[in-house]
Amino acid sequence: MDARLYASRLGGTAAVPPSKSAAHRAVLCAALADGVSHITNIEYSQDIRATLQAAAQLGARIEEGPDGVTITGRGSSGGFVTVTRPVFCNESGSTLRFMIPLFSLTAQKVHFTGAGRLFDRPQAVYQMLFDRQGLRFEQAPDGITVFGRLRPGGFTLPGDVSSQFISGLLFAAPLMESESTIEVLPPYESRSYVDLTLAALQQFGVKVTARARKNGSVLYRIAAPQRYTACDLAIEGDYSQAAFLAVLGCVAGGITVTGLAPDSRQGDKVILDILKRCGGKIKTTSDGYAFARSLLRATEIDLADCPDLGPVLFTLGCFCSGETVIHNAGRLRMKESDRIEAMQTELQKMGARITVDGDDVHITGVALHAPEEPLSGHNDHRVVMALAVAACAAGLPACILGAGAVNKSWPAFWDVLRALGGKVEWE
């Protein structure tokens, strides 16, 4: 599905979707819990459906409804069910990396499959941990196979890898036979995502202690065995998705975003600070923020703790006077697409001035022009949305190929854009 955008005047109020990061964690904890959990304000994106299906294979009973999902957890007394088929993770890195340690606890041979570039993403951390315990971990182009039960003990992980590895161990460690520790070495990147995991564990009755050490590392101590207990909760709004509307609002003006918790632990909440540093005019409302048209100036941005903001920050840089510098962008190369190459290639079709120096990206603000050829979404939901924001903010017509990629995380994105006044046609 391709989308053709036309110049249009934008403005109005839009609710952001629920946090995908929080939803993954809540579904997983509920699936492991004793009792019945009700999770509301959840969007059934492709990634969340992957986690729901994997949770069912762990033994949870899933009942989807229009207002939320009811999950009857497997509990701690019944043991794991027999895994009879591969665990399909689609393109969800969170699903894959959260589930690998948990499925290892079944002590069964489990095969994980997926789609897109999922198995191009590095899994060396788990390979190392499984190898050290003499367990089977095999990665092939079509998936990953594990066999053997992870044992408790002391785990040491580098801090400059995906936080999903740390979270995966945190979910599994309370179900092991005895206490474990997880030491995360400096530099500790994307720690905010681990904080979201700790918050979810706490909500579902699991205790984890954290302590900073003199060598700069962080040591997590997880008593075991522990029980997850059922919990009812509503998923908070997603700051990583709100960022697209926030940038659009600060460039085009007149957009209010609702459904955001001001005390959120989401690392992507930093989009507010970044926009303020750029001169963005932002007002707090009763349940979100209002973004007014602003004269934006360049700033330096460290992407280490907020990699999901990468694509929309490329777009932001195009509308800032001066040179925007994005540091620590290297992890963007191993997402659903090579997001550095994708955003550079597509924005340059609109006249953007972007250079890449290792893991640093330099963007010089210039007037964009309508692209002479279609923009490719690179089968990447965040690339598609960032390109849509660029075209709409600049008031330019554009055709985006593969616009349906938004279904991975925000199926209603195009409907929201239309409700704000955007003119979109499908081809």
User: Are the beta carbons of 80 and 105 closer than 8 angstroms?
Assistant: yes
Show the tokens assigned to 58.
């762990």
Whether 4 has a binding-site annotation, put simply, is no
Whether 264 has a binding-site annotation, put simply, is no
Whether 190 has a binding-site annotation, put simply, is yes
Closest CA to 302 of 268, 283, 279, 325: 325
Show the tokens assigned to 156.
């040491």
CA 175 and chain centroid, separation? 25
Whether 283 has a binding-site annotation, put simply, is no
Instruction: List, by residue number, the catalytic residues.
Output: 308
Whether 21 has a binding-site annotation, put simply, is yes
Whether 25 has a binding-site annotation, put simply, is yes
Whether 121 has a binding-site annotation, put simply, is yes
* Edge-first strand listing for the sheet containing 218-222: 154-158, 180-185, 218-222, 208-212
Whether 335 has a binding-site annotation, put simply, is yes
The one-letter amino acid code at 216 reads G
The one-letter amino acid code at 316 reads L
Burial annotation 84-121 (CB, 10 A radius, 16+ → b, else e): eebbbbbbbbbbbbbbbbbbbbbebebbbbbebbbbeb
What SS3 class is residue 406?
helix
Whether 164 has a binding-site annotation, put simply, is yes
Residues 6+ apart with CB under 8 A from 217: 159, 183, 184, 185, 186, 188
**Residue 41 DSSP class:** S
Whether 20 has a binding-site annotation, put simply, is yes
Q: Is the dihedral of CA 48, 340, 274, 421 positive or negative?
A: negative
Annotated binding site for 3-phosphoshikimate: 20-21, 25, 162-164, 190, 308, 335
Detail the residues annotated as belonging to a binding site for phosphoenolpyruvate: 20, 93, 121, 164, 339, 382, 408
Residue ranges of the binding site: 20-21, 25, 93, 121, 162-164, 190, 308, 335, 339, 382, 408
